[in-house]
Amino acid sequence: MPVSGSDNLDPPPGVARHRLSGSDNLDPPPGVARHRLSGRLPVFPWDTLTDAAAVARAHPGGIVDLSVGTPVDPVAPVIQEALCKAAAVPGYPWTAGTPELRSAAVAALARRYGVSGLAEHAVLPVIGTKELIAWLPTLLGLGADDLVVVPELAYPTYEVGAVLAGTRVVPADSLTQLGPEAPALIFLNSPSNPTGRVLGVDHLRKVVGWARERGTMVASDECYLGLAWDEQPYSVLHPDVSEGDHTGLLAVHSLSKSSSLAGYRAGFVAGDPAVVAELLAVRKHAGMMVPGPVQAAMVAALDDDEHEAVQRERYAHRRQVLMAAFASAGFTIEHSQAGLYLWATRGEPSRDTVDWLAQRGILVAPGDFYGAAGARHVRIALTATDERVHAAAGRLSSPAR
Ligand SMILES: Cc1ncc(COP(=O)(O)O)c(C=O)c1O
């Protein structure tokens, strides 16, 4: 797996270790290991979009930012009120989550996604799911002897988690690619970021059966499960997938997109009670607690399906407008049956498409952020206001300025 960025702090050949200027002294700061951890991680991909962003921002009609996928709609009043009501509480929050939060999560998974048989102690709140994903292999005690499998086109944090724990990591979409290996952990993501692809029940069942035979844990990142358009995604905990047995299974749920709570940092993990207990045991020591007011806000969000439906409708509308506009501008849209993104190509390198769109004041993410297989695609997020989405559609139907 290509992991760029050097962990070698030596200066290039011919350059003195303590450079004359002094200001770019390459010694690490006191207390930081000579082979810095950050040096093992991939280049932060968004830093490579700076030039395209500057071009898009210079458009006279302003930028339409469809790159990062950050929510733009205000948090529902029912959630804000719950946050405010808990704002005066001075004590430390529960790492395990309040009983109200755990039961609200169990009830929401049952109501919204048909997950049954989940005990309240099989749920654990996390400080946004990016945090959980990045630390999961470490929290599970995995290391150099272990293998983590990630999707071929994937949210980069799966690989980051493996690198932080020092495990081996392999991108693979099919089990046959793995040969006789018995991975410690497989990440699934349906609906997918970036492609919007949905894994069918049969596929999920096959992965779960295979994982059980090999003693592999399955972590299913389900943060887009509530955004179903043309295909119905399933939770790994759904009885049609798990057969009612959650052993070795974890479902990872974020409230960032379904309830526009990205700024609150609110998510939870649910599944195998023994694994959840183990995560809790480590997280208690590490101070990985969700703030109390955020836990209260999560209860309100999980109890209320109304705001979630309103948000889904907003994205459905934006998706229709953007799909039509990109298709009429000559893009081919692939997958995208569910989730928060359109996966599109003009049959050229993705950075050329990023530049073509930036000329029109539209910023998208190049597919290469997510793996080599994305080199000719771009990811278009549905997260802009209706006004910005219509502005993008107008620009796509007229020549560049
Ligand atoms: C696939 C996937 N998983 C997890 C996350 C992290 O979400 P959060 O940390 O906001 O819960 C994202 C965010 O975009 C994502 O796309």
**161-187: pLDDT as tens digits:** 999 999 999 999 999 999 999 999 999
Instruction: Give the pLDDT mean for 310-325.
Output: 98
* Least confident span in 37-41, 87-91, 334-338: 37-41
Helix extents (H) in 287-362? 292-303, 306-328, 350-359
pLDDT of residue 299: 98
What percent of the chain lies above the pLDDT cut of 90? 87
Best CA proximity match to 225, nearest among 113, 380, 108: 113
- Residue 32 above 90 pLDDT? no
The pick from 256, 260, 341 for probing ligand 1's pocket by mutation, whose C-beta has the most ligand atoms within 8 angstroms, reads 256
> Which residue from 172, 201, 165, 200 is spatially nearest to 186, judged by alpha carbons?
172
Residue 374 has pLDDT above 60, yes or no: yes
Is pLDDT at 121 greater than 60 in this prediction?
A: yes
CA distance 310 to 316: 10
Distance 254 CA to ligand 1 centre (A): 7
User: What percent of the chain clears pLDDT 70, i.e. is strictly above it?
Assistant: 93
**Residue 105 C-alpha to ligand 1 middle, in angstroms?**
18
Question: Which residues lie with the beta carbon below 6 Å from any ligand 1 atom?
Answer: 69, 128-130, 133, 155, 189, 193, 221, 223, 254, 256, 262, 267
Residue 395: pLDDT band (50, 70, 90) is: very high
pLDDT of residue 35: 78
CB 231: neighbour CB atoms within 10 A? 17
Q: What is the DSSP string of 62-99?
A: --EE-SS----SPPPHHHHHHHHHTTT--SPPPTT--H
**What is the model's pLDDT at position 401?**
54
Q: What is the pTM of this model?
A: 0.92
Q: From ligand 1's centre to the CA of 291, what distance in Å?
A: 19
| Contact between residue 345 and residue 364 where contact means Cβ atoms under 8 Å apart | no
What pLDDT is stored for residue 15 in this prediction?
38
Distance 17 CA to ligand 1 centre (A): 40
Partners of 342 in beta bridges: 380
Contact (Cβ atoms closer than 8 angstroms) between residue 195 and residue 153:
yes
Residue range 202-249, pLDDT digits in tens: 999 999 999 999 999 999 999 999 999 999 999 999 999 999 999 999
| Residue whose CA lies nearest to ligand 1 atom number 12 | 130
* Residue 5 pLDDT class (50, 70, 90 cuts): very low
**What's the pLDDT at 399?**
63
Query: So what's the pLDDT on residue 400?
Result: 58
Reported as a pLDDT band with limits 50, 70 and 90, residue 277 is very high
Q: Which amino acid is at 190?
A: S
Do the beta carbons of residue 381 and residue 68 sit within 8 Å?
yes
Top pLDDT among 6 and 246 is at: 246
- Reported as a pLDDT band with limits 50, 70 and 90, residue 26 is low
Cα 237 to Cα 190: distance, rounded to the nearest angstrom = 13
pLDDT at 9 over 90: no
Q: Whose CA is nearest to atom 16 of ligand 1?
A: 193
Beta strand pairing status for 249-254 and 217-221?
Answer: parallel
Whether the predicted pLDDT of 34 surpasses 80: no
Nearest CA to ligand 1 atom 5: 130
From 132, 223, 227, the mutation candidate for ligand 1 (largest count of ligand atoms within 8 A of CB) is: 223
Top mutation candidate among 132, 193, 265 for ligand 1, by most atoms within 8 Å of CB: 193
Residue 76 has pLDDT above 90, yes or no: yes
